[in-house]
């Protein structure tokens, strides 16, 4: 059964781009800078880049924001336009773009097909009936995992967008090349103006299927600050102990220590210590009891920080006295 999504709630944009093969390393570096700029805009939830694969012929970039308004602010921003002007030399032709609004994440990565249709307003009911028929038929094929239909997004996109996914490229190809699909396409001849893109399973978790429940929202600023504190305290103390034999002057010690702590926090402390430790508190399951989750999370933070305080008290007063 097709799940239809209105224009509201979280917003995702899928951008496909052919890149000149000899300039792919430069494009990848440029795209990282673009993503970093997007992260500075209100409502940004995440970005991911996927290079071409045997299933997915183009480079694909996915951005997610907490609302259409925030996504639109980024898409239409002077900042993004400036990046696009600088990055045209890496590209081999114009990009394609689909905007989706609403939905949640599925638990498993799958092969996703994105199809966009231009539908005349007088033909919307017929188009919806035809889509339901298409879904009914493809659901009988092995590996089918669901379909979702998104209405046009005013101010960003005039097309209807359909996502459907299979558990493997082989099962997807069996449906795409089937005689039954050709028959249904012929039945919907008036909707022949469409574009289709296959997205490899590295992007499976970005797309929404309501039956799997809504995705947990990003952590609040308060939770984020506490999580950083949990990671920063042991990182700074250990760095201070490690640098103390060098007897650096205060200004130089802080300069070096801050640089090292930034790298350690980004690449070690947060991804391998704080985020796994506090994962259920920072991003609780949608059905998790809110009060219980908060109490367990704050209790865990308290236990961890008391542990580190006790360890460093013993180290610096009983085992090792700083010069």
**pLDDT tens, 122-166?**
888 888 888 888 888 888 888 887 777 777 777 667 778 787 778
Q: Does residue 112 register a pLDDT over 90? A: no
pLDDT exceeds cutoff 80 at 7: no
Confidence of residue 218 (pLDDT cuts 50, 70, 90): low
| Residue that has been written with the tokens 């440029």 in this structure | 30
Integer Cα distance of 195 and 101 in angstroms: 19
Cα–Cα distance measured from residue 182 to residue 178, given in angstroms and rounded to the nearest whole number:
7
194-199 β-sheet, strand order: 2-5, 144-150, 160-166, 111-117, 194-199
* 117 & 56 share domain: yes
The angle at the Cα of 171, spanning 142 to 12, to the nearest 5 degrees, equals: 105
Last residue of a domain, one of 157, 183, 212: 212
The answer to whether residues 180 and 257 belong to one domain is no
The total number of structural domains that make up the chain: 2
Question: Which pLDDT belongs to residue 300?
Answer: 95
Residue 154's domain comprises: 2-212
83 and 9, same domain (yes or no): yes
pLDDT attached to residue 110: 62
In order, the DSSP letters of 300-311 are: HHHHHHHHHHHH
- Write down the pLDDT at residue 306: 96
Q: What is the pTM of this model?
A: 0.46
Closest C-alpha among 207, 107, 123 to residue 161: 207
Dist CA 112 CA 165 (whole Å): 4
Query: Phi first, then psi: what are they for 7, rounded to 5°?
Result: -85, 95
From the list 182, 186, 211, the residue with the least C-alpha distance to 286 is: 211
Return the top range by mean pLDDT from 3-7, 46-50, 214-218, 240-244. 240-244
Q: Which of 212, 244, 272 is the last residue of a domain?
A: 212
Mean pLDDT calculated for residue range 34-53: 86
Residue 79 sits in a domain of what CATH number? 3.30.70.100
The reply to whether 241 and 123 lie within a common domain is no
Confidence bin at 105 (pLDDT 50/70/90): very low
Last residue of a domain, one of 181, 212, 243: 212
């Amino acid at each position: 059964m097709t799940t239809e999504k209105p224009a509201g709630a979280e917003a995702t944009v899928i951008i496909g781009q052919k890149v000149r093969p000899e300039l792919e390393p430069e494009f990848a570096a440029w795209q990282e800078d673009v993503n970093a700029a997007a992260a500075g805009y209100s409502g940004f939830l995440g970005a991911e880049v996927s290079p071409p694969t045997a299933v997915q012929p183009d480079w694909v970039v996915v951005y997610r924001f907490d609302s259409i308004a925030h996504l639109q602010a980024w898409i239409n921003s002077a900042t993004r336009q400036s990046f696009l002007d600088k990055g045209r030399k890496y590209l081999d032709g114009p990009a394609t773009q689909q905007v989706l609004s609403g939905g949640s994440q599925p638990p498993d990565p799958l092969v996703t097909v994105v199809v966009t249709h231009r539908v005349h307003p007088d033909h919307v009911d017929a188009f919806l009936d035809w889509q339901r028929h298409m879904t009914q038929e493809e659901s009988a094929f092995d590996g089918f995992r669901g379909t979702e239909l998104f209405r046009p997004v005013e101010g960003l996109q005039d097309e209807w967008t359909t996502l459907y996914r299979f558990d493997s490229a082989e099962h997807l190809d069996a449906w795409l090349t089937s005689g039954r699909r050709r028959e249904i396409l012929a039945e919907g001849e008036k909707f022949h103006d469409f574009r289709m893109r296959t997205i490899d399973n590295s992007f499976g978790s970005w797309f929404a299927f309501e039956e799997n429940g809504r995705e947990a929202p990003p952590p609040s600023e308060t939770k984020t600050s506490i999580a950083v504190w949990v990671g920063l305290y042991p990182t700074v103390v250990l760095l201070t102990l490690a640098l103390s034999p060098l007897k650096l002057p205060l200004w130089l010690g802080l300069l070096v220590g801050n640089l090292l702590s930034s790298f350690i926090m980004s690449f070690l402390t947060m991804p391998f210590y704080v985020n796994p430790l506090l994962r259920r508190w920072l991003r609780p399951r949608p059905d998790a009891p809110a009060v219980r989750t908060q109490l367990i999370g704050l209790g865990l933070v308290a236990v961890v920080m008391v542990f580190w305080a006790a360890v460093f008290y013993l180290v610096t007063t009983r085992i090792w006295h700083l010069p």
